[in-house]
Structure 1
Amino acid sequence: MAFIQCSFYSEALGLSTSMSVILPQQTTTQIGMAGNVIATKHPTLYLLHGLSDDHSIWMRRTSIERYASELGIAVVMPSVHRSFYADMANGMKFWTFISEELPAIARSFFPLSEKREDNFVAGLSMGGFGAFKLALNHPEQYAAAASLSGALIAENVFDLSLADAELIYKDRATVKGSNSDLIAVAERLAKSDQLKPLLYQICGTEDFLYEDNKQFRESVETLDLSLKYTEGPGDHSWAFWDEHIQNVLKWLPLKK
């Protein structure tokens, strides 16, 4: 695998930002690695970080490079600060950045596939929310999305006593029915004739976001959407996410 960290200027944000990228490499002699390339334009997983982290965290806290090496998949890890993947009420346009600008910029830099069937998104905590937000709002772009310990009920960010909450959403009323209200977005998508992404939701039973995850699962399971759900012993920790990102990679509908 090739690992690249790059900084670039974002028109949506009006400043320079960063992303980490893993690219497939065909290898036969590298010790402990089985590299693979399956296409000239690589299938891509956009892998999103949580509230306290940045574009480097998945590389520092998991073995994502090793896990992805045999699959021939690129992994793009952007930085969105504490934005909850939103065009913030009092801040920058991180939703515009992540949903529109980032894929175009990443494909201009690297040989990444534009095809829906080759594009996936996953994330943890705030990033799990971001992953489902991207796939449910843009099902024409993503074939599958996975949330690990996702903060899936956006309005509950106000219950976390975060100073950021009012910067992101202004108030609870602005969340209801918006593109951040994932249950409302899922309901609209289920009733539409749009393509539906595969969804994979994972949460530990000791996680402080477990009840939010139950609420989302129980709502979405009543809809005409494909949701795989896994729960088990675990809290809001990297040991849990390092284990389960491997299951996500095995689940992705990659072309053989």
Structure 2
Amino acid sequence: MPFKTTEISNPQFESNNLRFITVKSPNLKGRGDICVYVPPGAKPADTVPIVILLHGVYGSVWSWSHSAGVHLTANELIANGELPPMIIAMPSDGLWGDGSGYLLNSGYNFEKWIAEDVPMAIRENIAGAKKDSPLFISGLSMGGFGALRIGAKYGHLFRAVSGMSSITSLPQIKLFAEEPLKYYAQDNVVDEDVFATFKHYRNQLPPVRFDCGVNDLLIRYNRDLHQKMLQAGMPHIYEEHGGGHEWSYWAKHVITTLRFFASYF
């Protein structure tokens, strides 16, 4: 079903292949924003893969582009033939509190905003984005929690999923957000934990990778998720690298995620 209202930025004022979309979403009970990197030369007749990148707490629609320059990195790698063309959609999380967790919260459905509305908005507004465009999802920290969980729960939609420095269970959001944990509680406790979600939706789980910096405050939780998946016999890729919970880490290692996704185009 098309959105009631849609606004898209004027190409005359766009730069570095970035554009912005605002749509009115029933799941948000209002408007939602998406920043989009569109590879040069994308045409309506093309079928271009779509990568959704989710930001962390405190962030918004501009985080991936203006804190990590991911669009510049992708543009260079595509131009050099190191990555195939891809559309990168960078939505806001709905802007609830310090972070929505990409969950159902206070009558808002931040999960469906990401899983359903964002892909539809991209397909309606971006040349080369088709119903059969391969769809991928990743994110950092809270966005890693959202990407891994939503990627599993909506596994029939996503070709592969990835997380960077991910929150792996809902109580960890209290390391960052000031809102009481009770406001994040879900009716189904499976939705509060990545591994529980993986187990519940195991039969539709897409290929999974995740990584974390060895100096990250979330490293032990990522290691624990890795061990649980090994014990459960769940195929996945897990990597550790130098670095902490910081943009320099994510700006570097998002390249690995994009290459991982490209292997499933």
**1:140 is aligned to 2:156:** yes
- Shift of residue 161 of structure 1? 6.6
**1:42 is aligned to 2:42:** no
- For 1:86, the equivalent position in structure 2 comes to 103
**1:10 is aligned to 2:25:** yes
- Paired residue for 2:224, among 198, 215, 221? 215
- For 1:205, the equivalent position in structure 2 comes to 214
- Shift of residue 158 of structure 1? 4.5
- Shift of residue 218 of structure 1? 1.0
Per-residue CA shift, 1:177-224, capped at 9, x if unaligned? x2232211211233x3x3x31111110111111111111111112234
In structure 1, stretches of 5+ residues that fail to align are 27-35
**1:188 is aligned to 2:200:** yes
Tell me the distance in 1 between the aligned counterparts of 2:243 and 2:22.
35
- For 2:235, the equivalent position in structure 1 comes to 226
Give the root-mean-square deviation of aligned CA atoms: 2.3
Counterpart contact for 2:37–2:88, Cα < 8 Å: yes
Per-residue CA shift, 1:52-88, capped at 9, x if unaligned? 1001011111131122220310000111121100011
Counterpart contact for 2:34–2:118, Cα < 8 Å: no
- Are residues 231 and 107 of structure 1, via their aligned partners in 2, closer, same or farther at CA, if it must alter by over 3 Å? same
**1:127 is aligned to 2:136:** no
Tell me the distance in 2 between the aligned counterparts of 1:160 and 1:2.
32
Report the TM-score, using the length of structure 2 for normalisation.
0.82
In structure 2, stretches of 5+ residues that fail to align are 1-15, 79-83
- For 1:75, the equivalent position in structure 2 comes to 88
Tell me the distance in 1 between the aligned counterparts of 2:90 and 2:211.
20
Counterpart contact for 1:46–1:77, Cα < 8 Å: yes
**Identical-residue share of aligned pairs (%):** 22
Counterpart contact for 2:159–2:264, Cα < 8 Å: no
Tell me the distance in 1 between the aligned counterparts of 2:123 and 2:164.
26
Number of matched pairs: 238
